[in-house]
A and B are shown apart, each in its own frame.
Chain A
Amino acid sequence: MAGGNGSGVVDEGRRRALKIMALAGMLASVDLAVFDKEEFKKMLRKVGLDEILGGDDVELAGAGESDMEKRAKKKTEEMKKICFEAAQKICDEKGLNHADCLAAIHKCRKIHVKATPPKKGAKYAMALDLDKCIGCRRCEYACVMENNTMRNAGMEWIHVIEYDREGLQDLEGGTADYRVAPKKGKVYVPIACMHCENPPCVYVCPVRATWKEPDGIVVIDYDKCIGCKYCVVACPYGARRFNLMKPSINPLELNPNMHILGNLIRPVHVTEKCTWCIQRTRDGGVPACVEACPVGARTFGDLNEPDSPIRKLLERYDFFVLKPEAGTKPKFFYYFGGAKPERAEGGE
């Protein structure tokens, strides 16, 4: 023993610590020896990491379809109630026969919350031509209108950011508050949710309130979100927004076409973000930003459909994604310049 001439307390203590460690080690080895190893391995396989971690192909949807639909019906009533309450205020103010009052009530009646399930085999993607984008922000406005976003809290899901041409690659020195555009030597980059293949926001959610749908859209369940904002911290594109206050709605500007995972009137203190207008795209439409773009810079479509516009673009142009080093594999592609020349394949 090392502490032969040991003087008292400390050495004794050290010996005791060693004893404790030896005991713990023995316990562990006995455990391993007693364990049937095959059984142990089987157990490991059963609770496979993929299952726990939720791989890319695992459908993370928390609720079944019928369940969603039931909830959507309930939500319709809830939304109507909120809307009528707001409409009541308008009617009290302006009189029952005022056009605004009637319009508001008409809007509220039309509210319908859908729970359209994802289309089988679809994989959505969006592309944006940076040469065409003039930074006019019409997509932001259309998005705000379409998604019933709160108007007065800086919540817009799309941010158009002006970068220097040199700064684009590093995403350096941008500003979202430009007043004159387009300027020479600047490039305008609309940034919203990229609907990544490896979404960090989904991985960090402690209650699985956000997940990636089979058609590639990353959605949030507003009834499950606990508002911890971990996903806001984890998003490498700053695409998530947090409802810091109770959303105020104007029934006159309400979009009655709602989806349970999309543009509901959000409750207070939950996260929200772009859903590629799930209420439109699941029914075969295009997102509002694509429709509103005055220069046709945006293209949206199904990657798995050979004739979709997005596939054709992918074939003809060289694309890049923001922050490829983050490894998130975004489904939002940017491109500029001319089309690739068509080359003959093969050849020696």
Chain B
Amino acid sequence: MGALKEYVDTIIYIFAEGVRGGRAYRLLLAGLTIMAVYGVYLWLFVQHAPIFLGLDKGGLIMTGVNENVPWGLYISFFTFWVGVAASGIIFSFAAYVFNDKEFKKVVPLAEAQAVIALIITVWGIVANLGRPIRATFEMPKFENLRSMLDWDFTVIFTYMILNAIAFIYTVNQMRLGRPVSRKFIIPYMIISSPFAIGIHTVTAFIFHALTARPALNTALLAPRFIATAFASGPALLLVLIYIAEKTIPEFKVDFSVYKKTLNVILVSLTTGLFFTLAEVHEVFWYTTEPLKKAQLIATFYGGPIPMLTALTWTWIAFGVAAVLLGILPPMRRARESIVVIALITFIGVFAEKTLATILPGFVINPVGLPSHYKIAPIEYFVSIGIHSTVFILYAILARSYLSTLLKYGYKG
């Protein structure tokens, strides 16, 4: 009973600590809140008005999705953020398996990042879902285990809960001045690492086994997802650590964290680029499979959806640029230049893992007709709302962790 109360107190502590801050912090939260409220309002009462309000107007017709492109921007955010979430495990591995003290400091940040990334993914699916209320009752029944969505549902929620538990546990131990116990960390690592890989693999599996979408029907999809995920997740965390370092003068992270993370980013990015090359070769060298070829020609050379081509080339350009900059020795000497490389990586992978991943399967429809997709304004604003809401949560979690770290210090 005592332990339970301890944890309830910790959760209250996290939120209480998280919202405390100076004027700047409060202004930041206010700015995010405005965008969040408007986005959530648009989603609940405009886009999903027929569901939540029973109105005749509204509905998914307001978004850009149509019969040929059933999954649009929301699902693309799902594929992107699930990758970011998966990469949290890299930091846990570095910290606990290799017992790196400096990494241990940022592990809770990675865990919080995983939690919020998974909230975006789930929200992305729900925003694209026709009937979210019905889904909450029907999905937990697991009626069709052949459906990848059921598995995805399972792994995403499990991994989210695991990360949340780890984060709360770490903060709890720190708050009470106790070291993080190996008895907790080792089983946690063993359980959560397959899930970390699993969330992203299963997400790729959702797409990759469909004969209807030959551009996605490649076994390389899951490895490609993982490779780019392990580039974008650490890149984002690096940027966030840098921001934390700049805003909180007392918080200092060793330069080795930057350097080691950069290496991870570069290796993953190179692998991801290599996988893209392999796919391009598969299609453009000999293949005569008509639909796959048509879809990839529309992806690389331009077709009915010009945005897709732009995003694909953005990924290739930014990815190559990041790798080239990353292997230049002068770039590896300063935090700032490493953060710039991380930013370039993040933008490149963001371009690839969002719409450029799913749209190739839809750009030519299964019977050879060109599809059309234009992101509707409501999609932009709902996405901004979702992201703002989740960033508020991340700001709260990160701030409470960092202030705890500064107050009590880290005992690993």
Contacts and interface: CB of A to CB of B under 8 A. Distances in A.
A207 B144 contact: yes
Contacts of B50: 245-246, 268-269
A104 interface: no
Contacts of B212: 200, 233-238, 326
Interface in B88-106: 97-100
B59 A173 contact: no
B60 A235 contact: no
Given A171-B291, A226-B130, A229-B71, A238 B61 contact: no
Contacts of B61: 153, 244-245
Interface string B112-139: 0000000000000100111110110011
Interface stretch (A13-21, A115-123, A288-296, A305-313): A13-21
A206 B65 CA distance: 20
A226 B368 contact: no
A188 B365 CA distance: 17
A207 B142 CA distance: 7
Nearest to B58: A245
B1 interface: no
Nearest to A173: B368
Interface string B63-102: 0011110110000000000000000000000000111100
A212 to B, nearest CB: 13
A167 interface: yes
Interface string B163-203: 00000000000000000000000100110000000000000
B130 A270 contact: yes
A206 B369 contact: no
Contact of A54 (B134, B144, B291, B294): B144
Contact of A228 (B57, B129, B213, B368): B129
Interface stretch (B145-153, B381-389, B398-406): B145-153
B51 interface: yes
A54 B146 contact: yes
A170 B369 contact: no
B254 interface: no
A174 B135 contact: no
A12 interface: yes
A171 B290 contact: yes
B74 to A, nearest CB: 11
B149 to A, nearest CB: 4
B143 A9 contact: no
A13 B99 contact: yes
Contacts of B210: 200, 204, 233-234, 236
A242 interface: yes
Interface in A205-250: 205-209, 224-230, 232-238, 240-246, 248
Interface string B362-403: 100111110000000000000000000000000000000000
A13 B95 CA distance: 9
B211 interface: yes
B407 interface: no
B130 A229 contact: yes
Interface class of chain A by DSSP: loop
B141 interface: yes
B146 A226 contact: no
Contacts of B132: 226
A175 interface: yes
A226 B147 contact: no
B147 A206 contact: yes
A138 to B, nearest CB: 20
A327 interface: yes
Contacts of B367: 159, 161, 171, 174, 191, 237-238, 322
Interface in B316-372: 361-362, 365-369
A151 B50 CA distance: 18
A33 interface: no
A244 B47 CA distance: 10
A219 B33 CA distance: 44
Interface string A241-283: 1111110100000000000000000001110000000000000
B146 A244 contact: no
B369 A227 contact: no
Nearest to B97: A17
Given A174-B368, A237-B366, A268-B50, A244 B131 contact: no
A243 B51 CA distance: 13
A240 B130 CA distance: 15
A227 B67 contact: no
Nearest to A177: B369
A13 B98 CA distance: 4
A181 to B, nearest CB: 16
Interface in A106-127: none
B255 to A, nearest CB: 16
Contacts of B66: 154, 244
A228 B141 contact: no
A26 interface: no
Nearest to B138: A207
Contact of B369 (A161, A200, A241): A161
Contact of B131 (A171, A226, A230): A226
Nearest to B141: A207
B213 A16 contact: no
B147 A203 contact: yes
Contact of A232 (B67, B99, B145, B290): B67
A269 B369 contact: no
B204 to A, nearest CB: 14
A159 B67 CA distance: 12
B240 to A, nearest CB: 25
The 6 closest A-B pairs by CB, nearest first: A227-B130, A269-B130, A13-B98, A170-B290, A206-B149, A244-B61
Given A161-B369, A209-B138, 16 more contacts: A13-B99, A20-B190, A167-B368, A171-B290, A175-B369, A204-B148, A225-B134, A228-B130, A228-B149, A229-B65, A229-B128, A233-B213, A235-B212, A269-B60, A325-B211, A326-B211
7 contacts: A13-B97, A24-B190, A54-B144, A154-B67, A207-B141, A227-B130, A237-B366
